[in-house]
Amino acid sequence: MKNLIKIVLGLFLTFGFLNAELLEQSGQKDGFDVKLSSTKALIVGTNEFVVELVKDSKVIDTAKVKVKFFMPEMPGMPYMESEENAVLVDGKYKMNINIPMSGTWQYQLKFKTDDGVVHTVKGSVNL
- Compute the distance between CA of residue 84 and CA of residue 72 in angstroms, rounded to an integer: 18
- pTM of the entire predicted model: 0.79
104: left (phi over 0), alpha (psi -120 to 50) or beta: beta
Handedness of CA 97, 124, 111, 60 (dihedral sign): positive
Burial environment of residue 92 by CB neighbours within 10 A (0 to 12, 13 to 18, 19 or more): middle
Q: Each residue's pLDDT tens digit in the chain (127 positions)?
A: 555 454 544 545 444 444 457 889 888 989 999 999 999 999 999 999 999 999 999 999 999 999 999 998 889 889 999 999 999 999 999 999 999 999 999 999 999 999 999 999 999 998 8
